[in-house]
Amino acid sequence: HLNAKLSHCGVITVTLNESRLDNFPRIFSEGMNTLIGYDLVPEPKIVESALRACRRLNDLASAVRILEAVKQKAGPYKEIYPYLIQELKPTLTELGISTPEELGIDRV
């Protein structure tokens, strides 16, 4: 059931993040907010496609925001976020996205 939801999210996110929809950043933010609304932490490949969409939309701030949001989604399960970052490291380096921790905004 959870895997079905994850693959459903993956299909939706990857579809929404296709470049032909890049004239509509609103569609991306709506899709992202919906994904965050689900009771799950998105898989690394889903987050990756969201980050690539941010790149196409020339929106670094949203990319960082998405990393903050998935950390929030992990809730008390503190080991999920480091795993995500570890899996996303190649993408983050490729696109030049800094994590909230690297920017120092993970603290007040």
Applying CB under 8 A, which residues contact another protein?
Answer: 26, 28-29, 32-33, 36-37, 55, 58-62, 64-66, 68-69, 71-72, 95-98, 100, 102-108
Axis crossing angle, helix 80-95 with helix 44-56, rounded to the nearest 10:
30
CB neighbour list of residue 50: distance below 8 Å, 6 or more residues apart: 13, 17, 28, 32, 35, 42, 63, 66
Q: How far is the CB of 9 from another protein (least distance, A)?
A: 15
Q: How far is the CB of 53 from another protein (least distance, A)?
A: 11
Question: Closer to another protein at the Cβ: 3 or 64?
Answer: 64
Closest CA to 100 of 76, 75, 82: 82
Q: How far is the CB of 78 from another protein (least distance, A)?
A: 15
